[in-house]
Amino acid sequence: MLRKTLSSWTRPSQLCRQMSVVAKSLKYTQHGEPQDVLKLVEDKLADPQDKQVLVKILAAPINPADINTIQGKYPVKPKFPAIAGNEFVGEVVCVGKEVKDLQPGEHVVPLATGLGTWATHAVYNEDQLLAISNKVGLAEAATITVNPCTAYRMLKDFVQLSPGDTVIQNGANSAVGQAVHQLCRAWGINSVGIVRNRPEIGELKQLLECLGATAVLTEEELRTSDIFKSGQLKRPKLAFNCVGGKSATEVSRHLDNGGVVVTYGGMSREPVTVATGPLIFKDIAFRGFWMTRWSKEHYNTPERKQMFQDLCQLMVQGKFIAPTHEMVPLDQFKNATAASLNFKGFTGKKFILNMSC
C-alpha cells in the first residue's frame, strides 16, 4: 500500500504536498443555456491548506435548480467564472493539517450550497462537508442533500403527523414526490399521489405504489374520487404542491380541517389559487418551502445532522432508493443537460454525472 512507503512521521495530510491533481470541471462565465455556456476545462489544484480538504468527486446530479442557476433564473447568483452544480458524493483524498474530523477514504457530501460540484476534483473547507457511510449507494449519496431532505423537512416541519395519517401531493412522480412516498411508507403514513394522465399511467402507478404510495390518482380521478369521503383513508392533514394553478386548488379541496398546503415548486408557472370554501370553512393554511434557505438557517445544527443520519440509515437498509436516474460520463454533459430540460418519459429521469467514467 502507498502509506507503507512513506516514512513513519508522514501524516495523510502531508501526502497532499507530494501530489499534483489536475481537475476537469464544467465552468461558465455568463448565463445562458447549459449546452451553450458550459465549457469543460482543466485546472491544476493547489494543495489543501489548514482546514481544507481535497475531494475526488464520484458523482454529481443535474437538478432543475442547477439548470435554472446557469440560465440566470434562480435566486442564487454565482460569481463568474463559476463551476456548475450543487450536489455530489465524493471521496476524501487528503486533508490539511488542521482538519480534525475527516480522513482520507471517507465519503462526503456538501453541507453548503453553491460549491460548484460538476468536477472531477475540488478543494473545500472541512466545515462545508459531511461524512456519510460508504455503504450508501452512489446514486443515493449523490442526490441526498436536495430532494430527500426537502421531503423529510416538509413531512416534519409543518404538521405533526402520526402513523395512519394521510399526506396528499401533486407532481407525485417527481424526485421529491418519490422521496415523500418512501418516507411515508417508512413512517407508517398514508401517501396519496396525484399525477397527470398519460398513456403509460398503469406503469407509473405501479412504480409509485412500489415506492410506498398508498394510492395514485390522475388529476381527473381526484375530482370524482370518494377515497376520503368513504372513509377508506383519513382526510389529509398535509398537502405538497409543486405544480400550482388548478392542480394546487384541487388538492387543497381535499384537506381536513386546519390542513396545510406546502408549495415548494411551480412547474405549471401558474399562481397558486385558493378555493374560498375550504379556506374559510376548513381554515386551511398555505405555506412555502425552499430547501436552500432551510439549510442556510440550520447549517450545522443537531437537527440537520439527525436528518442525514435518518436518511442514510434508511438508504443502508434498502428502504430508500434514488429516484429514476441515468449515470452519464462528464464529457457527455451537453447531451445530459439538454435531456434534463427536454425529457418527457412517464416518470421523468434524473441524470447523474459519473466522474469516474
Single out the residue of 39, 131, 92 nearest to residue 333, CA to CA: 39
Cell of 1: 500500500
CA distance 223 to 214: 18
Asked if the structure places residue 314 within a domain, the reply is no
Residue 17 pLDDT: 58
Residue-wise pLDDT tens digits, 220-276: 999 999 999 999 999 999 999 999 999 999 999 999 999 999 999 988 889 998 889
Measured in residues, the chain has a length of 357
Question: Do both 137 and 45 map to the same domain?
Answer: yes
Residue-wise pLDDT tens digits, 116-141: 999 999 999 999 999 999 999 999 99
Residue 345 has pLDDT above 50, yes or no: no
- Strand 107-110 and strand 129-132: the pairing is antiparallel
CA distance 204 to 198: 9
Residue 8 has pLDDT above 50, yes or no: no
Asked if the structure places residue 26 within a domain, the reply is yes
CA distance 144 to 111: 11
Residue 5 has pLDDT above 50, yes or no: no
More confident residue, 75 or 4: 75
Q: Residue 255 maps to which CATH number?
A: 3.40.50.720
CA distance 91 to 275: 50
**Domain C-terminal end among 241, 274, 292:** 292
Asked if the structure places residue 66 within a domain, the reply is yes
Residue 10 has pLDDT above 80, yes or no: no
> Would residue 206 be called left, alpha or beta, if left means φ above 0 and alpha means ψ between -120 and 50 degrees?
alpha
Residue 326 pLDDT: 95
Question: Do both 80 and 186 map to the same domain?
Answer: no
Asked if the structure places residue 185 within a domain, the reply is yes
Question: Do both 95 and 185 map to the same domain?
Answer: no
The confidence band for 349, taking pLDDT boundaries of 50, 70 and 90, is: confident
What is the overall mean pLDDT for the chain? 92
Question: Do both 136 and 152 map to the same domain?
Answer: no
Give strand pairing partners of 285.
Answer: 260
Asked if the structure places residue 63 within a domain, the reply is yes
Residue-wise pLDDT tens digits, 64-118: 999 999 999 999 899 999 999 999 999 999 999 999 999 999 999 999 999 999 9
The confidence band for 340, taking pLDDT boundaries of 50, 70 and 90, is: confident
Choose the catalytic residue: 28, 74, 152, 299. Answer: 74
Residue 170 pLDDT: 97
Residue-wise pLDDT tens digits, 26-67: 999 999 999 999 999 999 999 999 999 999 999 999 999 999
Active site residue 28: no
Question: Do both 169 and 127 map to the same domain?
Answer: no
Instruction: Indicate the pTM of the whole model.
Output: 0.92
CA distance 67 to 73: 9
Residue 15 pLDDT: 53
Those residues whose C-beta lies under 8 Å from the C-beta of residue 2, and which sit 6 or more positions away, are none
Question: Do both 36 and 167 map to the same domain?
Answer: no
The confidence band for 18, taking pLDDT boundaries of 50, 70 and 90, is: low
What's the structural domain count of the chain? 2
Q: Which domain holds residue 139?
A: 2-143+322-354
Those residues whose C-beta lies under 8 Å from the C-beta of residue 245, and which sit 6 or more positions away, are 268, 270, 271, 272, 273
Those residues whose C-beta lies under 8 Å from the C-beta of residue 222, and which sit 6 or more positions away, are 194, 250, 251, 254
